[in-house]
């Protein structure tokens, strides 16, 4: 079995630590928050963010980054996306050549439009950076509820190795080489989930949510293909799978924040109420920036930005989506490439 460090002791990091220790691995959990380490060391439970999930007595908890990263087979990076760069920079001196780092956060850096794996590769060029994503709420993974995800790597042998590390009878793992597609789906679905929550907060129904999910996926796919992702990725676990669960579940911090915004809260008030990082707020600006850079129309992402940052009312934003110019729903993807300058989406 492997020696694995989980960097980040929030709900997702804790759930994955629990999964990995149940798989028989030697697990170390790191946090930069002293109170968090004391709580985990005392109770072996993340009482604030994942209550009821008890970690093994064998799990090691530490605030010392060097010891957490020394002599590890796999490092799981589970900090919220806004802290990916700063944490990676702090990790860099202790990472050996070829160290496998599995990023499990979902987001895009607003200032650079870089995906999280690109940030890690920039800060730790000696590492082998992989991603893990899919419809996987920490609350359910921690309870052993059957879950299926995908691991993205550039190397097939590493993919199979990680598949074996994470796989269990309640956690099924698929493998893929489409890292950019996995990451874009994972990040931008959070913005669509904000929109779905806003619709819920406005009192709209299932018809509205179904429209947001399907048209939101169309937007993400358009951008993703132009950026090098594969269409099957967006209609797989890390695309439509993750989008559905994030838009539909009350476990979703993005949906919960959206509900509050739909009821009149600002995004700052909503984030404070949810009391966790709402990744969609950070991904919204980055998603719109990427859309403009690649000349892709993304009306849902655009309207979410207007609500979050420009003071537009949620009801007005939905109205803008409904009265846009008429469109066709589907177009052969080959036509898009042949006539990209003339396509109206």
**Which domain CATH number covers 259?**
1.10.1040.10
Residues 300 and 199 in one domain: yes
Residue 106 CA to residue 279 CA, distance in Å, equals 7
Give a yes or no: residue 127 inside a domain. Answer: yes
pLDDT of residue 342: 44
Residues 217 and 142 in one domain: no
Name the token pair of 344.
């109206």
Residues 216 and 146 in one domain: no
Q: Give the predicted TM-score (pTM) of the model.
A: 0.91
Give the rounded distance of the alpha carbon of 64 from its chain centre.
26
Residue 258 CA to residue 300 CA, distance in Å, equals 13
Q: Is the pLDDT score of 71 beyond 90? A: yes
Give a yes or no: residue 91 inside a domain. Answer: yes
Domain count for the chain: 2
The beta-strand segments (E) located in 136-262 are 147-152, 171-176
pLDDT of residue 333: 53
Percentage of the chain lying above the pLDDT 70 cut: 95
Crossing angle of helices 279-293/253-262, nearest 10°?
90
More confident residue, 201 or 340: 201
Most distant CA pair in the chain, distance: 62
Residue 40 CA to residue 99 CA, distance in Å, equals 26
Name the token pair of 170.
């309640």
Give the domain-ending residue among 147, 177, 207: 177
Banded model confidence at residue 27, pLDDT cuts 50, 70, 90: very high
pLDDT of residue 335: 55
Residues 155 and 32 in one domain: yes
Q: Which of 189, 263, 289, 326 is catalytic?
A: 189
Q: Is the pLDDT score of 334 beyond 80? A: no
Residue whose entry in the numeric block shows the structure tokens 């860099």: 92
pLDDT of residue 328: 78
Residue 189 annotated in active site? yes
Residue 344 CA to residue 328 CA, distance in Å, equals 9
**Which domain CATH number covers 89?**
3.40.50.720
pLDDT of residue 332: 58
Residue 305 CA to residue 55 CA, distance in Å, equals 39
pLDDT of residue 345: 38
Residues 145 and 17 in one domain: yes
Give a yes or no: residue 183 inside a domain. Answer: no
Residues 213 and 156 in one domain: no
Range of the domain at 109: 3-177
Q: Is the pLDDT score of 339 beyond 70? A: no
DSSP sequence for 76-114:
EE-S-GGGHHHHHHHHGGGPPTT-EEEE----B-TTT--
Give a yes or no: residue 345 inside a domain. Answer: no
Name the token pair of 142.
């921690």
Name the token pair of 153.
């790597």
Name the token pair of 249.
């579940």
Partners of 152 in beta bridges: 131, 176
């Amino acid at each position: 079995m492997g020696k694995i460090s989980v960097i980040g002791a929030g709900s997702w990091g804790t759930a994955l630590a629990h999964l990995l220790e149940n798989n028989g691995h030697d697990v170390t959990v790191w946090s930069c928050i002293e109170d968090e380490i004391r709580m985990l060391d005392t109770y072996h439970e993340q009482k604030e963010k994942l209550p009821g999930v008890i970690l093994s007595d064998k799990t090691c908890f530490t605030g010392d980054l060097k010891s957490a990263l020394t002599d590890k087979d796999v490092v799981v990076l589970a900090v919220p996306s806004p802290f990916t760069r700063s944490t990676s920079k702090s990790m860099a001196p202790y990472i050996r050549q070829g160290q496998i780092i599995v990023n499990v956060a979902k987001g895009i850096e607003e200032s650079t439009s870089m995906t999280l794996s690109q940030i890690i590769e920039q800060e730790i060029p000696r590492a082998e950076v992989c991603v893990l994503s899919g419809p996987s709420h920490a609350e359910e993974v921690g309870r052993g509820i059957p879950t299926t995800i995908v691991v993205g790597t550039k190397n097939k042998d590493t993919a199979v190795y990680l598949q074996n590390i994470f796989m269990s009878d309640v956690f099924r793992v698929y493998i893929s080489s489409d890292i950019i597609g996995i990451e874009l789906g994972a990040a931008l679905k959070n913005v669509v989930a904000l929109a779905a929550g806003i619709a819920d907060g406005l009192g709209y129904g299932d018809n509205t949510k179904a429209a947001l999910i399907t048209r939101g996926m169309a937007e993400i796919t358009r951008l993703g293909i132009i950026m090098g992702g594969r269409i099957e990725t967006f209609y797989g676990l890390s695309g439509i799978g993750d989008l559905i669960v994030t838009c539909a579940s009350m476990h979703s911090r993005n949906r919960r924040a959206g509900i509050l915004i739909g009821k009149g809260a600002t995004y700052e008030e909503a984030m404070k109420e949810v009391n966790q990082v709402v990744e969609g707020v950070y991904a919204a600006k980055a998603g719109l920036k990427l859309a403009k850079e690649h000349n892709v129309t993304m009306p849902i992402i655009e309207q979410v930005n207007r609500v979050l940052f420009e003071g537009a009312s949620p009801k007005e934003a939905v109205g803008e989506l409904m009265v846009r110019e008429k469109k066709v729903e589907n177009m052969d993807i080959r036509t898009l490439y042949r006539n990209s300058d003339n396509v109206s989406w």
